[in-house]
């Protein structure tokens, strides 16, 4: 709009200047055409007084044209008579301001800086040029009119431009109001649930945006349903994990219990014999210790630490006992290497839950008779644990969940929610996790958790 205003102003001023110049030229032509016939004869005779009289009378008759000065010159460029003889005396050279280069007949040349215009008309007798008449005109009123038009154009165009720009801004702002509503809902915090657009806003929105708002509300409803389904699946996975845990514990406890009942029966039958009593009591002691180890290991793994303490080597070795039922069920080979140190300032609860989930997933993915591997060591001020299996390999969706490219657990079997929990625990602990394939088949997962100090461990706990 500003460019259009400038263009219009320039066109108007140009046309005004052309019209003024053309009008001034016509008036100058009338003035000079009136002088020329009367001046030919006196110029030929070089009659100075008659020429001056003609010029003086013409200046009074055409006072409305505002001729400021009139000079009559001979053919050789000398002043014959002038309306201002003090400025241009008779027989002096014609001033440069009246030279042919400045004003060539019948043109008129305007000098805006000087506020005057110069016109010239040749005087001829027959085919011979006998002299010339030059006139200057005051064009200051024309320049004043031109400045007035310029100021009016600037003011009018500026006011129109501002009014149109304000109207356009208000219109676009009103048009963009539904877009801002949609953007505010899309830019909501990831921690907060997706909120649908209120019905009152949908009713007042333009018709084109009502369908868009309705589609967004359907999407928001689908996202909330997905989140509810994820929470439901997480609860089911937790219950299933507890069931598997209870089943494994029952299996681990049931075997020693059978031996204990047999030992009690033996004591009942042959308790009076010291050798039998000694062997039987020793068997009962080992069975009770086995049950105690299973219960204690399970308890410390699934219970949040109440007391801040360092990670011990035995905390990692206890995990081998928890995966033992799955290992025996599938006849797996376990290669176990634990080179971690005692008194590592890493959260024992986080380490146990992460590694147990990875080990159970490795057991589940490995076919019967396969092999799983585990290695723990301290490297570059971090506790590094590497879990490998000989299964078919981790799916792309499960790998994305584990490395943090998906924010939701994988729906379906395969420990997707367990992997999501592993990733969350590692992220909270400031660690990293890397997944890469194992040759010829299988998957290797490398977890690194930074080792802090006692104060940092208390903060994590």
Give tens-digit pLDDT for 197-218. 888 888 888 877 888 888 888 8
Quick one: pLDDT at residue 444?
A: 93
Quick one: pLDDT at residue 429?
A: 82
In the chain, count of helices (H) and strands (E)? Answer: 12, 10
Mean of pLDDT over the chain: 79
Global confidence as pTM: 0.42
Give yes or no for residue 132 having a pLDDT over 70.
yes
Render pLDDT for 219-247 as a digit per residue (tens, 0 to 9): 888 888 888 888 788 777 767 766 766 76
Give yes or no for residue 44 having a pLDDT over 80.
yes
Confidence of residue 104 (pLDDT cuts 50, 70, 90): very low
The angle, 0 to 180 degrees and rounded to 10, between the axes of the packed helices 416-428 and 207-270 is 100
Arithmetic mean of pLDDT, 382-404: 86
Give yes or no for residue 402 having a pLDDT over 50.
yes
Sign of the alpha-carbon dihedral angle for 203, 205, 210, 216 = negative
Sequence-ordered list of residues with C-beta below 8 angstroms from that of 165, at least 6 positions apart, any chain: 1
Render pLDDT for 403-444 as a digit per residue (tens, 0 to 9): 876 554 444 444 445 677 788 888 888 899 999 888 888 999
Sign of the alpha-carbon dihedral angle for 221, 223, 226, 227 = negative
3-state class (DSSP) for residue 234: helix
How far apart, in whole angstroms, are the C-alpha atoms of residue 120 and residue 437?
A: 100
Which tokens hold the place of 229?
């389904």
Of 171 and 201, the one with more pLDDT = 171
3-state class (DSSP) for residue 247: helix
Sign of the alpha-carbon dihedral angle for 204, 210, 213, 219 = positive
Arithmetic mean of pLDDT, 102-124: 70
Sheet with 79-82: list strands edge to edge: 79-82, 67-74, 128-138, 116-125, 108-111
Q: If 0-12 CB within 10 Å is exposed, 13-18 middle and 19+ buried, where does residue 117 land?
A: buried
């Amino acid at each position: 709009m500003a460019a259009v205003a400038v263009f219009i102003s320039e066109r108007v001023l140009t046309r005004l200047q052309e019209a003024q110049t053309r009008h001034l030229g016509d008036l100058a032509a009338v003035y000079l055409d009136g002088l020329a016939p009367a001046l030919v004869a006196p110029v030929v005779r070089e009659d100075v007084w008659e020429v001056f009289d003609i010029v003086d009378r013409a200046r009074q008759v055409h006072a409305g044209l505002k001729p400021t000065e009139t000079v009559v010159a001979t053919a050789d460029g000398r002043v014959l008579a002038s309306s201002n003889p003090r400025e241009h005396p008779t027989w002096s050279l014609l001033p440069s301001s009246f030279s042919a280069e400045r004003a060539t007949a019948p043109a008129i040349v305007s000098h805006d800086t000087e506020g005057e215009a110069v016109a010239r008309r040749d005087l001829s007798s027959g085919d011979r040029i006998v002299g010339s008449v030059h006139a200057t005109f005051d064009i200051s009123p024309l320049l004043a009119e031109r400045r007035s038009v310029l100021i009016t154009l600037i003011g009018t165009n500026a006011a129109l431009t501002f009014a149109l720009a304000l109207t356009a801004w208000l219109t676009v702002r009103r048009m963009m109001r539904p877009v801002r509503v949609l953007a505010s809902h899309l830019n909501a915090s990831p921690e907060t649930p997706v909120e649908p657009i209120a019905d009152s806003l949908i009713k007042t929105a333009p018709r084109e945006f009502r369908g868009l708002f309705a589609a967004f509300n359907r999407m928001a409803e689908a996202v909330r349903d997905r989140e509810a389904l994820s929470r439901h699946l997480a609860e089911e996975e937790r219950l299933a994990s507890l069931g598997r845990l209870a089943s494994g514990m029952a299996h681990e406890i049931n075997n020693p219990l059978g031996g204990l009942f047999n030992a009690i029966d033996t004591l009942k039958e042959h308790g009076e014999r010291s050798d039998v009593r000694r062997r039987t009591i020793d068997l009962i002691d080992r069975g009770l210790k086995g049950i105690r180890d299973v219960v204690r290991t399970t308890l410390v793994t699934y219970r949040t630490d109440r007391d801040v303490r360092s990670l011990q080597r035995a905390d990692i070795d206890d995990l081998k006992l928890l995966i033992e039922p799955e290992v025996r069920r599938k006849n797996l080979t376990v290669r176990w290497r634990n080179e971690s140190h005692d008194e590592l300032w890493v959260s024992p609860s986080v380490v146990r839950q992460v590694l147990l989930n990875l080990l159970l997933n490795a057991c589940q993915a490995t076919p019967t008779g396969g092999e799983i591997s585990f290695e723990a060591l301290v490297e570059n001020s971090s506790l590094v644990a590497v879990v490998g299996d000989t299964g078919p390999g981790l799916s792309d969706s499960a790998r994305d969940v584990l490395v943090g490219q998906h924010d939701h657990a994988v729906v379906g079997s395969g420990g997707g929610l367990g992997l999501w929990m592993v990733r969350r625990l590692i992220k909270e602990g400031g660690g990293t996790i890397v997944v890469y394939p194992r040759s010829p088949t299988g998957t290797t997962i490398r977890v690194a958790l930074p080792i802090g100090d006692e104060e940092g461990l208390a903060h994590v706990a």
